[in-house]
Amino acid sequence: MTFKGLYDKKGDTVIWYTDDECRIPVLIHSKIVIGSLTAKLAAYENPACTLYKKVERDKK
C-alpha cells in the first residue's frame, strides 16, 4: 500500500483474514506519520463464496 502526505506509511501493514477457503480480509492495521490507520470490514457480499450471507453492521 502506498500513501502520500500525512498518510505516509511507517512500518508494516497487517491484514487479518478469515481462516476458511474464502479468505476474507476482516481487519487492516497500518502505522502512519500521524498515528495509525485501522480498517474493519463493515459489509461483505461475494457470490463466489457462499459460506457467508450478506451481513451489514449497524450504522451509527
Q: State pTM to two decimals.
A: 0.62
Q: pLDDT tens-digit profile of 26-52?
A: 999 988 777 888 999 888 888 888 787
Q: What is the mean pLDDT of the chain?
A: 77
Residue-wise DSSP of 5-53:
GGG-EEEEEEEEE-SSTT--EEEEEEEETTEEEEEE--EE--TT-TTS-
